Structures are given as structure tokens and as C-alpha cells.
């Protein structure tokens, strides 16, 4: 009985996206939002959580596997980028150039230094 059900589910899932990292992230975020919504008695959070759960279900059942894979790949890229930025916070400080608004990364712990913007050449003195 159990094996037959498993077989049916497996057959049903052929050609569908199934679970992936983006789906799992949406699922857990929705779960947390739902608990927060119930706990704070804030129904908007619950509604958002339900939408998140529906989206996660949509991803699992979606037959447009190519598009879902592409979305997941972009999501993983963003996560990787954020992780890299977070790890850089410990060793580097980021300043915004007043001339061109470009972000400049300088190593931490070098005392007061003069920073020259590589884009527009504007100079500023900052503590690192
Ligand atoms: Zn600049």
C-alpha cells in the first residue's frame, strides 16, 4: 500500500521541478513568517506566509523545469554574493565616494588613511 503510493507520487513528479534551494528558502521563510504572524496576531504576515507556501508548492509542481532551474541558479548566485560580502565585512570597510557614489573597499585596521577613488580620483580621509 505504502509502496504503491510512493510509486504514484514518483510517477506524478516525473518532469516536474521538485524541491530545490530557492523553494526550501521560500518554504522556511514562509514557515517562520506564519509562526510570527500567529504569535504577534498579525494576519498580514500569515497571508504573506500562505502566498510563500503556495509559491513553494508551485515550484515543486512546475513542469517548466528549465525556467525554475534558471531562477534557482540566480538565487544561489545572490546567496553566494551575500556570503562573500558578509565575510568581507570582517576584513574590509566599505566607503561610498562622495564624487561618483561608487563603493570603495579598504582593508580594516590601517588607522587614518587617505582614500583615492579609482573612478573619479576624489580623495577623502577616513579611519579604517
Ligand atoms: Zn568617485
Residues 6+ apart with CB under 8 A from 122: 97, 98, 99, 100, 116
Bridge partners, 126 (sequence order): 113
Mean residue pLDDT across the chain: 94
Categorize the per-residue pLDDT at 123 as very low, low, confident or very high, splitting at 50, 70 and 90: very high
Judged on CB neighbours under 10 Å (0-12, 13-18, 19+), 83 is: exposed
Residues around ligand 1, an ion, CB closer than 5 A? 97, 99-100, 102, 117, 119-120, 122
Q: Are 128 and 109 a contacting pair, CB within 8 Å?
A: yes
* SS3 state at 120: coil
CA 123 to centroid of ligand 1, rounded, Å: 8
The 10s digit of each residue's pLDDT in 32-91 is: 999 999 999 999 999 999 999 999 999 999 999 999 999 999 999 999 999 998 998 889
Confidence (pTM) = 0.71
Bridge partners, 117 (sequence order): none
Question: What is residue 101's predicted lDDT score, i.e. its pLDDT?
Answer: 92
Strand pairing category for 112-116 and 103-107: unpaired
CA 115 to centroid of ligand 1, rounded, Å: 10
| Mean pLDDT computed over 104-121 | 92
Amino acid at each position: 500500500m505504502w509502496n504503491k503510493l510512493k510509486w504514484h507520487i514518483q510517477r506524478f513528479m516525473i518532469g516536474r521541478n521538485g524541491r530545490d534551494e530557492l523553494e526550501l528558502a521560500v518554504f522556511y521563510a514562509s514557515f517562520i513568517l506564519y509562526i510570527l504572524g500567529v504569535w504577534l496576531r498579525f494576519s498580514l504576515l500569515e497571508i504573506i506566509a500562505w502566498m510563500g507556501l503556495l509559491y513553494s508548492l508551485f515550484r515543486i509542481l512546475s513542469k517548466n523545469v528549465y525556467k525554475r532551474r534558471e531562477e534557482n541558479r540566480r538565487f544561489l548566485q545572490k546567496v553566494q554574493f551575500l556570503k562573500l560580502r558578509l565575510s568581507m565585512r570582517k576584513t574590509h570597510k566599505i566607503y561610498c565616494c562622495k564624487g561618483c557614489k561608487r563603493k570603495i573597499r579598504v582593508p580594516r585596521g590601517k588607522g587614518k588613511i587617505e582614500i583615492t577613488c579609482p573612478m573619479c580620483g576624489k580623495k577623502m580621509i577616513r579611519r579604517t
